Amino acid sequence: MDGCVACAAARPTLFLGPAPLFPTEDPIGFKCMIKLTRMPNPANCTALSNIFPVIANNTGSGQFQIPHSGNFTCFNHTAGDETKNPKHLGNINPNLCNTILSGDSGNSIGPWARAGLYYYCGGSNLLLRLPTRSQGLCAMVRLISPITMYGAHKPTKNYDRPRRSDDYDFDLTKNTPTYIDAIGVPRGVPDEHKLVDQIAAGWESILVWITPNKNVDRINYVNYQVMRLANITGAAITGLSEQLSATSLMTIQNRIALDMILANQGGVCHMFGDVCCTVIPNNTAPDGKVTKALIALKALSREMAENTGVENPITQWLERTFGKWKGVVVSMASAIAVFTAILVTCGCCCVPCIRSLIERTITRMMEGKDEKPPYMLPILECEEEQEELL
């Protein structure tokens, strides 16, 4: 319900409503409600303790309307020794009881008074607590103010014509310079908001192995910042929703009281007969816009957290083995590995190559002087043949 209209009559008479007791549907909550009457701070009942805090025993209840019908959870209360004339509190009409519980050890009501909880044992009296030595058939009730809430009806969707946008539509194409060009590439991001320079990335792409690694780091950075933004936004919306809910409740209460006082002068509400009505935005309700957006944001945060994370067994082993000295050990190991690689490269490749080159050069220089030129041999052979012919 996006919003509602609250209406109340002048000087309304409070009526009785059943306390949140559900022995069958919610046995854990029922046990906590019983424990609230026995001790100030029962274990594992913090939520109900905050809703129904401890109050003084002499707190008044005010006027209320005697019920003629109801759906109460009643207790056949017996506290103290029956032989010592316990005080008779009265008996509620059994027809008003949906469930009657016996006063055994598990369902017995204690003497602690709680804000918002009362006991009705018939007649026109409302008890804040049940005395220690008393008996009677009583129901745990709450005082309810007769305020009528009218929710807004959702309009029927008309699929024959396009739906008009409202203030709550979120359109990424509005108020932004970005656009998608003809080949499907996003453009128009201002230079002061760019994470990477396109020109530098173009020259960098010549070395293929550099760009993918940088892109992975940028994706991890953007993903981490989006997760942080989702968590911070969720915390902010949660705080604002809680504050707005409490402030709205206080405003409604004060406005209704002010309207009742100034009803003759017109007040600040709208009068329909003898009923005063005011419009209340209900965005912080369980089905309101703020609550739905908060639930969706928390679901998005959980989904992103579940789909992220890289497990590196080597890094985990280093953390378990060296702890906070992992960074120092990794730096020293990297330096030693680089030095070893340089030494192996020079010792196994560069030095033998240079040595072989020097040896071949020296050998050629020393052996080249003793050999006769090959082109002199044919001339000598021809001279010997001529001498023989002569």
Q: How confident is the model at residue 380 (pLDDT cuts 50, 70, 90)?
A: low
pLDDT of residue 381: 56
pLDDT on residue 264: 57
Q: For the chain, what is the mean pLDDT?
A: 77
Most confident segment among 57-61, 273-277, 306-310: 57-61
196 and 296 co-located in one domain: yes
Q: Which residue has the higher pLDDT, 295 or 104?
A: 295
Residue 25 φ/ψ, nearest 5 degrees: -75, -35
Residue where a domain terminates, one of 306, 325, 342: 306
Give the model confidence (pLDDT) of 244-275 as tens digits: 878 877 877 777 677 666 655 656 666 666 67
Q: Name the H helices within 275-312.
A: 289-306
> Does residue 244 contact residue 222 with C-beta atoms inside 8 Å?
no
Asked whether residue 123 falls in the same domain as residue 200, the answer is: no
Q: What is the pLDDT of residue 174?
A: 63
The reply to whether 227 and 271 lie within a common domain is: yes
Give residue 164's pLDDT: 47
Of the ranges 17-21, 58-62, 250-254, 313-317, the best mean pLDDT one: 17-21
For the segment 268-292, the average pLDDT, to the nearest whole number, is 71
> Is the domain of 122 the same as that of 58?
yes
Q: CATH number of the domain that 216 lies in?
A: 1.10.287.210
In angstroms, the CA 127 to CA 111 distance is 11
Give one DSSP letter per residue of 171-228, joined into a string.
Answer: -TTSS---EE-TTS-EE---GGG-SS-HHHHHHHTTSTTHHHHHHHHHHHHHHHHHHH
Instruction: Identify which has the larger pLDDT, 183 or 89.
Output: 89
**Would residue 285 count as lying in a domain?**
yes
Residue 113, pLDDT > 60, answer: yes
308-365 per-position pLDDT tens digit: 766 777 777 878 888 888 788 888 888 898 888 888 888 788 878 888 888 888 887 7
- Indicate the pairing of strand 186-187 with strand 64-65: unpaired
Asked if residue 276 is part of any domain, the answer here is: yes
Domain boundary pick from 122, 146, 170: 146
* 6 within a domain of the structure (yes/no): no
* In a shared domain, residues 124 and 17: yes
Query: Of all residues in the chain, what percent carry a pLDDT higher than 70?
Result: 76
Whether 161 has a pLDDT exceeding 60, the answer reads no
Rounded to whole angstroms, what are the CA distances from 254 to 110, 134, 281, 282, 314? 34, 39, 16, 17, 64
Q: What is the predicted pLDDT for the residue at 170?
A: 47
Tokens 């970005």 label which residue? 178
Q: Domain total for the chain?
A: 3
Query: Are 41 and 125 in a shared domain?
Result: yes
Is the domain of 31 the same as that of 96? yes
Give domain status of residue 113, yes or no. Answer: yes
Same domain assignment for residues 229 and 272: yes
> How far apart are the C-alpha atoms of 318 and 209, rounded to whole Å?
27
Going by pLDDT thresholds of 50, 70 and 90, the confidence category of residue 168 is very low
Least confident window among 100-114, 149-163, 195-209, 267-281: 149-163
Look at residues 146, 170, 197 and tell me which one is the last residue of a structural domain. Answer: 146
What is the pLDDT, as a whole number, of residue 212? 78
pLDDT tens by residue, 116-125? 899 999 888 8
Predicted TM-score of the model (pTM): 0.46
Are residues 29 and 131 both part of a single domain? yes
Looking at residue 291, what is its pLDDT? 79
Q: Which two tokens stand for residue 183?
A: 């080949």
Give strand pairing partners of 278: 6
Angle at 243 between CA 237 and CA 246, to 5 degrees: 135
pLDDT of residue 263: 56
Residue 329 and residue 322 in contact, taking contact as beta carbons nearer than 8 Å: yes
Q: How far apart are CA 90 and CA 66, in angstroms?
A: 14
Backbone angles phi, psi at 305, to 5 degrees: -65, -35
Q: Stretch 197-213: mean pLDDT, rounded?
A: 75
Residue 388: inside a domain: no
E-state strands within 12-71: 14-18, 64-65
Structural domain harbouring 283: 179-306
Query: Are residue 236 and residue 282 in the same domain, yes or no?
Result: yes
What's the rounded Cα separation, in Å, for the pair 293 and 237?
9
Mean of pLDDT values over 277-291:
73
Whether residue 360 lies inside any domain: the answer is yes
- The verdict on 183 and 290 lying in the same domain is yes
Higher pLDDT, 283 or 55: 55
- Most confidently modeled of 23-37, 158-172, 224-238, 289-303? 23-37
Residue 321 is assigned to a structural domain of this protein: yes
| Composition of the chain by helix, strand, coil, percent to 5 | 45, 20, 40
Regarding whether 65 and 85 lie in a shared domain, the answer is yes
Please report whether residue 1 resides in a domain: no
Average pLDDT over residues 51-75: 84
The arithmetic mean of pLDDT across residues 33-48, rounded, is 89
